[in-house]
Amino acid sequence: MDLKSYILKSIQAALAAGQDINDVYHSEDFGVAYKSDKSPLTLADQKSHQRIMNVLREFDDPILSEEGKDIPYAQRKSWQRFWVVDPLDGTKEFIKRNGEFTVNIALVENNRPMLGTIFVPDRQTLYFAAQGFGAYKFKDGPFRDLQDAPADSDEQAHILLAQIVEQSDPLPAEHPRQAALTIVGSRSHKTAELEAYVEEKRKAFGEVEFISAGSSLKICLVAEGRADIYPRLGPTMEWDTAAGQAIAEVAGAAVYQYDTSKPLTYNKEDLHNPWFIVQREP
C-alpha cells in the first residue's frame, strides 16, 4: 500500500464528485426522491456516488457507501481494509441551498479510520488527513487542475500531493475565541439531549458559544480548532463520521462514544453509530 497514492486518489475522487454536485446544485431541478426511511435522495447523490466509485475502483479495496450499503455483514465482516464513502453528506442542507454539505471519503483499517478526505463543494474547501502523514485544510485552490492532474505512478502522486500540502494549512490552526467554550451542533438534527448538554456546559464554564452547522463540517470545525467540542446525541451512520474522525484524530482531537468513552469503530453488523463526542484535547 502506498499511502500517498491513496490520499491523492481520495482527494481527486472527492473533487470530481464535488464538481458533479455543484453542477446539480446550481441547476433548477435537484430531482429529489425519498428513500424507504424517508430521507431525501437527489440526482447529486447519485452522480457523486458513481464518480467516486469510478475512481476508487482503481484499488482492490472494497467500498462501503451510503448509496451502496446493502452488502451483507457475512460478506464484509472479514474486510481488513476498505473505503467508507458518503457521496453527499448533508442532503437536507443541499436542498435548503445553504452550502453546508460535503463529500466524505475514508479509508478504514482494522475497524479504525486512518485516512480521511472531506470536500465542501459550495465553499471550495478541502480537508484531508492520514495517520503518520498529518492533517491539512486547502481552500480556494485550483481544484479542477488537481482533479484532472495525471497521477498514474506513485512518483507522480507523491509530487502532486506535495504541491497540495505546500498550499495547505496544517490543522489545527489558531482561532480567536469569544467564549470560554465553543460547542458546535447540528443545524438540522437538534435534540432535547443536545440542549440539555449545552446548558450543562454553560453552568460549568459560564459563557458558551454555540455554532450550528450541517454535515461533517461539525467535525471539521473541531479538527481545525474553531470549536472545542461537538456532541452528537442523536443517530448517525458510519459513513457520516469515518472521514471526519480520521481528520479530527490526526489533528489532535478525540472521538469517543458518549456513554463508554471508547473510540468509534467501523464495519459493525449494525452500521449505526452510538452517540459520540468530538473534543479537542485539553
- What pLDDT digit, counting tens, does each position of 20-37 carry? 999 999 987 766 766 666
Amino acid in the structure at residue 141: G
> What pLDDT sits at residue 178?
76
- What pLDDT digit, counting tens, does each position of 78-101 carry? 999 999 999 999 988 998 999 999
From the number of C-beta atoms within 10 Å of its C-beta (0-12, 13-18, 19+), residue 211 rates as middle
- What pLDDT digit, counting tens, does each position of 240-279 carry? 999 999 999 999 999 999 999 999 999 999 999 999 999 9
Class of domain 3-170: alpha beta
Mean pLDDT across the stretch 152-177?
A: 87
Share of the chain above pLDDT 90, in %: 71
Checking if the pLDDT of 38 tops 80, the result is no
> What pLDDT sits at residue 35?
67
Task: Put the strands of the sheet holding 208-213 in their side by side order.
Answer: 208-213, 181-186, 229-232, 276-280, 253-257
> What pLDDT sits at residue 36?
61
> What pLDDT sits at residue 42?
79
* pLDDT grade for 143, boundaries at 50, 70 and 90: confident
Tell me if 3-170 shares its fold with 181-280: no
Asked if residues 100 and 187 have their Cβ atoms less than 8 Å apart, the reply is yes
> What pLDDT sits at residue 235?
92
Mean predicted lDDT score pLDDT of the chain: 91
Mean pLDDT across the stretch 41-62?
A: 92
Topology (CATH) of 181-280: D-Maltodextrin-Binding Protein; domain 2 (3.40.190)
pTM of the full structure: 0.94
Checking if the pLDDT of 153 tops 90, the result is no
Residues in the chain: 282
Asked if residues 141 and 126 have their Cβ atoms less than 8 Å apart, the reply is yes
Distance CA 178, CA 41 (A): 38
> What pLDDT sits at residue 17?
96
Checking if the pLDDT of 150 tops 80, the result is no
Query: Cell numbers of 277, please?
Result: 463526542
Checking if the pLDDT of 149 tops 90, the result is no
Distance CA 263, CA 280 (A): 14
Map out the domains of the chain as residue ranges.
3-170, 181-280
- What pLDDT digit, counting tens, does each position of 178-199 carry? 788 999 998 777 788 999 999 9
> What pLDDT sits at residue 282?
61
> What pLDDT sits at residue 8?
94
> What pLDDT sits at residue 69?
81
> What pLDDT sits at residue 50?
95
